[in-house]
Amino acid sequence: MDMNNYLVSIKEAMNLVNTNVLSKKPKKVLLKNALDLFLAEDIISPINMPPFHQSAMDGFAILFDETHQNNFTLVDEIKAGDNNKRTLNIGEAVRIFTGAPTPTNANAVIMQENTSVENGVLNIDDTLTDFKNIRLAGEQIKQKQVALQKGEKLNPAAIGFLATLGITEVSVYPKPSISIVVTGNELVTPGTPLEYGQIYESNAIMLQTALAKKGFTDVTITKVKDDYEATRAALNDVIKQSDLVLISGGISVGDYDFVGKALLELKTEQIFYKIKQKPGKPLFFGKNQNTIIFALPGNPASALTCYYIYIESALQKMIGNPNYSKPTISLTLSNEYIKNGTRGEFLKAKVTGGEVEILGSQSSAMLNSFAQANALIYLEDDVRMVKKGEKVNTYIID
């Protein structure tokens, strides 16, 4: 691995993530486990839906023609679920209920509010039109037609729709298994008193909940000390076990930053290391066999920014989202900001109404303003300042 000083641009880094992360192999899953996953194949309807001509109302199914438009003879009753496949003669009617199969040649259902019955004869106070209140067999979808196409996202309606067709399993791109590895001698789990020199570990729970928010829950967390052997052993394990490894800290140039060296030792292919951006300059992205690896800078705001900008896209690629792009809008800025340096910047920001405000505490070590942010403003490398009233490119984080 070349831990050199070349910085890729933000655009290059985004492209490299998009081109190097591939979807997982499709897998059959039960429909109830397929929410928000993407179809890996077209779904062909095994049946007509509805499967039979169906009454849309409680009332009477009739067979009329131009000579016979009233005074129908009641000959039967059919309720929902009845296995009664019958026909009518002209001038006949059956009592019928919503969802019941209409007589196969019935040409209208009249809702009961518009009828009266006397001595077995049905009188109608309604206009008669062909197939009034009848849901025709196959009118929603016909057998062998494509119900949903490959690449469609399975929302609850899609899942319901497939269930109406009797489908129980679908082939989808599964979610990745994810390992979060947290490095740092100084880190203590919240709940324990701090000693001098220690801080509370917060990146694991932050990343874990960010993943959970997007439906990624197959996550394990490993904590390692700043020790080369321990780091290498932990990374070796998680790389073997996971589709995606997110490492926090230890990726910079300090004497106790062992992540880069360990990844190299484990024959990880470096795709990039360091981006011309603030925060999150020392972001490492690579592959080891089929495992995608991001080594995130330990500074909490840097780690989370990298998650939103790069890892969310990688996750969408992994689950086969065919057309994902980060939700971006151009908004009017409500305050001014002077940018130092030539790195592109992602600024914690708050969108209210049609405007966006750059928040205070932009330090990559701080989360206090990030906690109130719902957006990241992207300023390109060559921007020096942005003024109130200017339009800025804003990524919505939700």
Ligand X SMILES: Nc1nc2c(c(=O)[nH]1)N[C@H]1C(S)=C(S)[C@@H](COP(=O)(O)OP(=O)(O)OC[C@H]3O[C@@H](n4cnc5c(N)ncnc54)[C@H](O)[C@@H]3O)O[C@H]1N2
Give yes or no for residue 362 binding ligand MOO (CB under 6 A). no
Which is nearer to ligand MOO, 92 or 257 (by Cβ)?
257
Residue nearest to ligand X according to CB distances in the complex: 298
DSSP state of 320: T
- Which does residue 251 touch among ligand X, ligand MOO, none (CB within 5 to 8 A, set by kind)? ligand X
Min dist. Cβ of residue 276 to ligand MOO (A) = 10
CB of 313 to ligand MOO, least distance (A): 18
Q: Cβ closer to ligand MOO: 81 or 341? A: 341
User: Is 297 near ligand MOO (CB under 6 A)?
Assistant: yes
Tokens of 174: 């599964």
Binding mask 168-197 for ligand X (x = CB under 6 A): --------------x-x-xx----------
Q: Is the dihedral of CA 196, 201, 202, 203 positive or negative?
A: positive
Query: CA-based Rg of the chain, rounded to a whole angstrom?
Result: 31
Taking residue 288's Cβ as centre, other Cβ atoms within 10 Å add up to 17
Beta-ladder partners of 214: none
Residues 6+ apart with CB under 8 A from 185: 225, 226, 256
What is the sign, positive or negative, of the torsion defined by CA atoms of 82, 86, 89, 90?
A: positive
Neighbours of 307 (CB within 10 A): 22
Residue selected from 61, 88, 246, 257 as contacting ligand X according to rule CB under 6 A: 257
Neighbouring C-beta atoms of residue 258, cutoff 10 Å:
23
CB nearer to ligand MOO: pick between 92 and 345:
345
Pair 74, 120: CB distance under 8 Å: yes
Is 251 a binding residue for ligand X by CB under 6 A? The answer is yes
**How long a stretch of residues is the chain?**
398
| Residues between 246 and 285 with contacts to ligand MOO, criterion CB under 6 A | 278-281
**Residue number, 59 or 279, with CB nearest to ligand MOO:** 279
DSSP string of 201-260, one letter each residue: --HHHHHHHHHHHTT---EEEEEE-S-HHHHHHHHHHHHHH-SEEEEES--SSSTT--HH
Among 107, 133, 302, 321, binds ligand MOO (CB under 6 A): 302
Q: Say whether residue 249 binds ligand X (CB under 6 A).
A: yes
- Taking the C-alpha atoms of residue 162 and residue 255, their distance in angstroms, rounded to an integer, is 56
- If the CB atoms of residues 289 and 342 are measured against ligand X, the closer one turns out to be 342
Q: Which is nearer to ligand MOO, 48 or 362 (CB)?
A: 362
* Binding stretches for ligand X (CB under 6 A): 182, 184, 186-187, 199, 201-203, 248-254, 257, 281-282, 297-300, 302, 364-365
* Binding stretches for ligand MOO (CB under 6 A): 278-281, 297, 299, 302, 364
